């Protein structure tokens, strides 16, 4: 399939897509985003609470804005988001879904400083050509391009996206099935056979893993952390079930590093980083893991990510 230049942001045909890609698309980011609005309901609890205190507590990273009434809307002015790549390579496409090669540095969904420079925004900017059979008023078959799962902003790799609401619901159910089964005690062979979607990652970790295979079942959840209002995801007994299977591909003795393959049976936030840090082998150059991560029994050794 050859891409042609168009308003949808497809790259010119003379700019050949990377090997293995059907085509590439993407619209360059504007210098500033459109800003964002936060809507809240303000209720007086009897305590002395000012609007400044309310917003300072709710949005610590933003300037408070006085207002009146019970419904408050805080309009944050447009800002220049940090650099993020905008081109996406399409590896597979049919009437229901798209498989993208997400580049490192691009966030999947809006959050924090990245409200516009996301995969979701590029999917919505592109003019998807739906089959004539889909030209229906039924909502579940209308064009609705959205990512079905997430990859960390710094992670590159395969990202599945649905084209319609019906496809999104079905694919999301497959991913949810893996997360649900991760908390059940069952034979690993049966567990893998029952899953319709498998997720594999390659990573380079510090230290030399002794065992060829390691199964990590440490729960992951949000914990309180000073200075972080929303808390941090970490390995904790009160968290949600999580399962990662680590297989050694190559031991790099001279560099004290190990190349591994990680199969995640669930999809908790920062699961791979947290699980690898938990067993004492954090990702190479991972600046967010604790220096005490080499001791899995030490609660300080859990990975810390917002």
Evaluate whether residue 227 is within a structural domain. Answer: yes
Note the pLDDT tens digit of each residue in 255-270: 999 999 999 988 888 8
On whether residue 225 sits in a domain, the answer given is yes
In a domain, 120, yes or no: yes
Query: Does 147 map to a domain?
Result: yes
Q: Are residues 218 and 263 in the same domain?
A: yes
Phi, psi of 190 (to 5 degrees): -65, -35
Give the model's pLDDT for residue 259: 97
The total of structural domains in the chain comes to 2
Measured distance CA(48)–CA(301) in Å, rounded: 40
Range of the domain at 156: 89-128+140-182
Average pLDDT (139-159) is 86
Whether 15 has a pLDDT exceeding 60, the answer reads: no
- Model confidence over 76-86: pLDDT tens digits? 999 999 999 99
Residue 249 forms part of a structural domain = yes
Answer whether residue 48 is part of any domain. Answer: no
Nearest to 105 by CA among 82, 123, 79: 82
Q: Regarding beta strands 97-102 and 88-93, do their DSSP bridges make them parallel or antiparallel, or are they unpaired?
A: antiparallel
Claim to verify: residue 105 and residue 169 sit in the same structural domain: yes
Q: Are residues 98 and 172 in the same domain?
A: yes
Please tell me whether residues 222 and 176 are part of one structural domain. Answer: no
What mean pLDDT comes out for the span 189-212? 84
The residue among 151 and 138 whose pLDDT is bigger is 151
Spell out the residues 6+ positions from residue 104 whose beta carbon is closer than 8 angstroms to its own.
153, 154, 155, 156
Q: Which whole number is the average pLDDT over 248-252?
A: 97
Residue 299: pLDDT band (50, 70, 90) is: very low
Q: Domain with 266 in it: what CATH number?
A: 3.30.2350.10
pLDDT for 178 equals 67
CB-CB contact of 89 with 17 (8 Å): yes
Residues 236 and 167 in one domain: no
Residue with tokens 């297989």: 247
> 274-292: per-residue pLDDT in tens?
999 999 999 998 766 544 3
Q: Is the pLDDT of residue 296 over 80?
A: no
Burial of residue 170, with CB atoms counted within 10 A of its CB: 0-12 exposed, 13-18 middle, 19 or more buried: middle
Distance CA 217, CA 265 (A): 10
Same domain for 177 and 206? no
- Could you tell me if residue 229 is inside a domain? yes
- Whether residue 25 is contained in a domain is answered as no
Nearest to 102 by CA among 8, 33, 170, 26: 26
pLDDT for the residue 38: 83
Q: Indicate whether 233 and 261 sit together in one domain.
A: yes
């Amino acid at each position: 399939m050859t891409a042609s230049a168009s308003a949808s942001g497809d790259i010119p045909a003379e700019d050949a897509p990377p090997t293995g890609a059907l085509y590439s698309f993407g619209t360059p980011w504007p210098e500033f985003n459109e800003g964002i609005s936060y809507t809240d309901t303000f209720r007086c609890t009897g305590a002395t609470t000012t609007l400044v205190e309310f917003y300072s507590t709710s949005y610590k990273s933003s300037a408070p804005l006085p207002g009146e009434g019970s419904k408050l809307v805080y309009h944050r002015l447009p800002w220049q988001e940090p650099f993020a790549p905008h081109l996406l390579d399409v590896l597979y496409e049919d009437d229901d879904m798209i498989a993208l090669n997400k580049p490192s540095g691009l966030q999947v969904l809006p959050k924090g400083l990245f409200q516009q420079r996301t995969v979701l925004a590029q999917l919505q900017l592109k003019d998807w050509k739906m089959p004539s059979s889909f030209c229906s008023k039924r909502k579940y078959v209308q064009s609705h391009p959205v990512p079905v799962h997430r990859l960390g902003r710094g992670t590159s790799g395969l990202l599945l996206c649905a084209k319609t609401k019906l496809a999104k619901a079905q694919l999301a159910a497959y991913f949810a099935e893996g997360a649900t089964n991760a908390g059940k005690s069952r034979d690993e062979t049966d567990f893998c056979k029952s899953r319709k979607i498998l997720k594999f990652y390659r990573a380079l970790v510090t230290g030399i893993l002794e065992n060829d295979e390691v199964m990590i079942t440490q729960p992951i959840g949000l914990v309180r952390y000073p200075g972080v209002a929303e808390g941090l995801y970490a390995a904790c007994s009160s968290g949600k079930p999580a399962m990662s299977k680590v297989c050694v591909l190559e031991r790099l003795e001279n560099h004290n590093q190990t190349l591994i393959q990680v199969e995640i049976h669930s999809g908790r936030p920062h699961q791979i980083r947290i699980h690898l840090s938990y067993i004492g082998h954090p990702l190479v150059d991972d600046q967010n893991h604790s220096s005490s991560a080499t001791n899995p029994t030490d609660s300080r050794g859990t990975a810390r990510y917002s």
